[in-house]
């Protein structure tokens, strides 16, 4: 990426950070690395730079296709494997885990315990499996007394111990439902949960699920990273195209409330589910990308059609969703049948545009540059993000023909260049090291992160506050960056040590955080070790 582009990006980031200051998020009081017995660090990470969900979260959740019954460890692991083998991981999908799959109970001591019948390896074991595949761990709970099916306990009156348990299970994302909450104040409840989550000392994406109840877009940016704006998109197992479109159009109206670190969530995707055609899949995906909606797949990844895979992994469409400016696009013109969606500037100065035909016949639509905020006299290149073809330069506008239920998804730029923003893929999020001797040893383990986007990122900077036994060096090699973790066992007592490592990617001109990466380092010391 050229220096001038970075300057533009820096200015835009500064603007976004200003937005974040207007809607402040509270800081993590104690996310920094903890070794056993260490007291939480006072090092606070501030609102704008917790670095979580700076672009809409991408992942997979079981509810849409499976509902509660079939969920168990075997199924989730098969899905995790399919996420990797299908190419979805390489396209940026990262968060995965059970939804309401009866995965835990509350024991007599009040603590949550894994339902070992369904998850024999334990919920921590499932998290480790997910992390070693380079994916992030998502769990589910409820803010009330029970979850929606009433089969699992809710967090009411157990907020702090439950959030500690999720942190111990090494969750990276928690969806918190709003069933069985009679008499609870929604803002207070989600604020307590947010405080509890931060007190637990692990950075976790916090996904609120009140289906629009309590107007979360007005207040939830201070206590969460995303909030459901609408009711469930389908009943498990069967997509509902008309219902999904109602949800899309309701979510569209809330565009002003979304931005980096705080997103409107119109629910998990129906792409690839029974009940939707290939064309509808593509249109649905385009709408979710343009609305900067979380891209949480909800289909059975083990048995996807090639067309569904192609849709879900279209990097040119994903680039619109994962754009670092994080603007939610909206309808800029409609006649009730054809809608023109725009208002989505991208980091390189281009504009993303969608023309959607909800009629019964093919339609022709002329998009004039001023309708999408471009000077009429400008000569522009028009990239079709599904045909992967570029036309131009064109002045004045462009005409497109769109079939029923279909979209034309375009990216319009004065340059014949359509860069893909950073999309980071990790080979693992867990480094496990074991020392067996009683003499001091140095052990090393590494994690490699690859940028699938076309722009280069500057070198990651590892956060301060690592425990004394851990040293992390970052080495750059092309678009992959490797974090080498060296631990010294000198003077350590027998036991398990754990640290959450935070690495920042800071924007080079303004020095503001662009993104943050968190991963775990585990060290097992099997015998007391002497000093050197």
Q: Are 341 and 330 in contact (CB under 8 A)?
A: yes
- Nearest distance, CB of residue 209 and ligand GLA, angstroms: 5
Catalytic pick among 49, 177, 406, 522: 177
Q: At what angle do helices 73-85 and 122-132 cross, to 10 degrees?
A: 10
Looking at the Cβ atoms of 139 and 408, the one nearer to ligand GLA is: 139
State the nearest-atom distance from the C-beta of 96 to ligand GLA, in Å.
Answer: 14
| CB environment 453-481: b (16+ within 10 A), e (fewer) | bbbebeebebbeebbebbebeeeeeebeb
CB of 499 to ligand GLA, least distance (A): 32
Under the criterion CB under 6 A, does residue 363 sit at the interface with ligand GLA?
no
Is residue 100 near ligand GLA by the rule CB under 6 A? yes
HEC secondary structure over 261-312: CEEEECCCCCCCCCCCCHHHHHHHHHHHHHCCCCEEECCCHHHCCHHHHHHH
Q: Does 462 bind ligand GLA (CB under 6 A)?
A: no
- 210 or 506: CB nearest ligand GLA: 210
Span 119-178, contacts to ligand GLA by CB under 6 A: 147-149, 177
Helix, strand, coil: what percent of the chain each, to 5? 25, 30, 45
Active-site pick, 5, 90, 232, 240: 232
Residue 438, classed as helix, strand or coil, is coil
- Check residue 438 for interaction with ligand GLA (CB under 6 A): no
Rg for the chain, CA atoms, rounded? 23
CB of 100 to ligand GLA, least distance (A): 4
* Nearest distance from C-beta of residue 67 to ligand GLA, angstroms: 8
- Interface of this chain with ligand GLA, residues 167 to 226, rule: CB under 6 A: 177, 209, 211
What is residue 253's DSSP assignment?
A: T
Nearer to ligand GLA, 73 or 99 (CB): 99
Measured from the CB atom, the residue of 231 and 277 that comes closer to ligand GLA is: 231
Alpha-carbon distance 348 to 8, whole Å? 8
Q: Which residues contact 187 (CB under 8 A, 6 or more apart)?
A: 214, 219, 223
**What residues are paired with 488 via a beta bridge?**
442
Block residue for tokens 């016949």 = 361
Identify which of 500, 430, 516 has the alpha carbon closest to the alpha carbon of residue 467.
500
Considering the complex, what minimum distance in angstroms separates the CB of residue 45 from ligand GLA?
Answer: 28
When asked if residue 232 is in the footprint of ligand GLA (CB under 6 A), the reply is yes
Alpha helices in 32-147 (DSSP H): 63-66, 73-85, 122-132
Helix (H, G, I), strand (E, B) or coil at 461: strand
Could you say which DSSP state residue 139 is in?
Answer: E
Task: Pick out residues in 36-95 that bind ligand GLA (CB under 6 A).
Answer: 63
The 276-315 contact track toward ligand GLA, x by CB under 6 A, reads ----------------------------------------
Asked about 49 being catalytic, the answer comes back as no
Question: Should residue 99 be labelled a site residue for ligand GLA when binding is judged by CB under 6 A?
Answer: yes
C-beta of 147 vs 350, nearer to ligand GLA: 147
For ligand GLA, the closer CB: 149 or 358: 149
Beta strand pairing status for 407-413 and 480-488?
Answer: unpaired
Residue 522 interacting with ligand GLA (CB under 6 A): no
Q: Is residue 50 flagged as an active site residue?
A: no
Shortest distance, position 475 Cβ to ligand GLA, whole Å? 41
Q: List residues with catalytic annotation.
A: 177, 232
Footprint of ligand GLA (CB under 6 A)? 63, 99-100, 147-149, 177, 209, 211, 232
């Amino acid at each position: 990426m050229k220096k001038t582009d970075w300057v533009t990006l820096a200015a835009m980031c500064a603007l976004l950070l200003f937005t974040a200051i207007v809607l402040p998020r509270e800081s993590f009081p104690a996310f920094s690395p903890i070794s056993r017995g260490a007291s939480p660090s006072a090092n606070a990470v501030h609102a704008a730079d917790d670095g979580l969900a700076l672009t809409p979260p991408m992942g997979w959740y079981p509810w849409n296709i499976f509902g509660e019954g079939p969920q168990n460890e075997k199924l989730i692991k098969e899905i995790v494997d399919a996420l990797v083998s299908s190419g979805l991981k390489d396209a940026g999908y990262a968060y995965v885990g059970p939804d309401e799959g009866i995965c835990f109970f509350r024991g007599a001591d009040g603590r949550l315990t894994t339902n070992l019948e369904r998850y024999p390896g334990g919920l921590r074991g499932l998290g480790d499996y997910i992390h070693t595949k380079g994916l992030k761990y998502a769990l589910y709970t409820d803010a009330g007394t029970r979850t929606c099916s009433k089969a699992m306990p809710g967090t009411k009156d157990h907020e702090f111990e439950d959030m500690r348990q999720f942190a111990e299970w090494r969750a990276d994302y928690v969806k918190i439902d709003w069933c069985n909450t009679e008499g609870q104040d929604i803002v207070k409840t989600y604020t307590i949960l947010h405080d509890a989550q931060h007190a637990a000392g692990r950075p976790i994406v916090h996904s609120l699920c009140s289906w629009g109840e309590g107007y979360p877009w007005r207040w939830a940016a201070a206590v969460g990273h995303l909030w459901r704006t609408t009711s469930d998109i389908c009943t498990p197992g069967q997509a509902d195209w008309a219902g999904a479109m109602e949800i899309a159009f309701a979510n569209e109206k809330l565009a002003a409330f979304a931005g980096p670190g705080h997103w409107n969530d119109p629910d998990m995707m129906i792409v690839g589910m029974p009940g939707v055609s290939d064309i509808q899949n593509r249109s649905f995906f385009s709408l979710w990308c343009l609305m900067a909606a979380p891209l949480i797949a909800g289909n059975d990844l083990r048995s996807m059609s090639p067309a569904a895979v192609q849709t879900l992994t279209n990097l040119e469409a994903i680039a619109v969703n994962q754009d670092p400016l994080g603007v939610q696009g909206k309808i800029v013109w409609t006649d009730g049948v054809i809608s023109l969606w725009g208002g989505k500037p991208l980091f390189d100065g281009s504009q993303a545009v969608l023309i959607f035909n909800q009629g019964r016949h093919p339609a022709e639509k002329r998009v004039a540059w001023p309708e999408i905020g471009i000077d009429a006299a400008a000569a522009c290149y028009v990239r079709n993000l599904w045909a992967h073809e570029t036309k131009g330069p064109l002045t004045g506008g462009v005409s497109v023909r769109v079939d029923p239920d279909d979209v034309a998804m375009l990216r319009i730029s004065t340059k014949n260049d359509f860069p893909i923003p950073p999309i980071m893929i990790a080979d693992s999020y867990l480094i496990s090291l074991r020392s067996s001797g009683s003499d001091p040893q140095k052990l090393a383990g590494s994690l490699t992160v690859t940028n699938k986007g076309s722009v280069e990122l500057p070198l990651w900077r590892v956060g301060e506050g690592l425990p004394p036994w851990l040293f992390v060096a970052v080495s750059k090699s092309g678009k992959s960056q490797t974090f080498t973790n060296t631990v010294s066992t000198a003077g350590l007592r027998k036991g398990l040590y754990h640290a959450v490592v935070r690495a920042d990617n800071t924007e080079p001109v303004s020095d503001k955080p662009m993104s943050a990466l968190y991963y775990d380092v585990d060290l097992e010391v099997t015998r007391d070790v002497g000093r050197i």
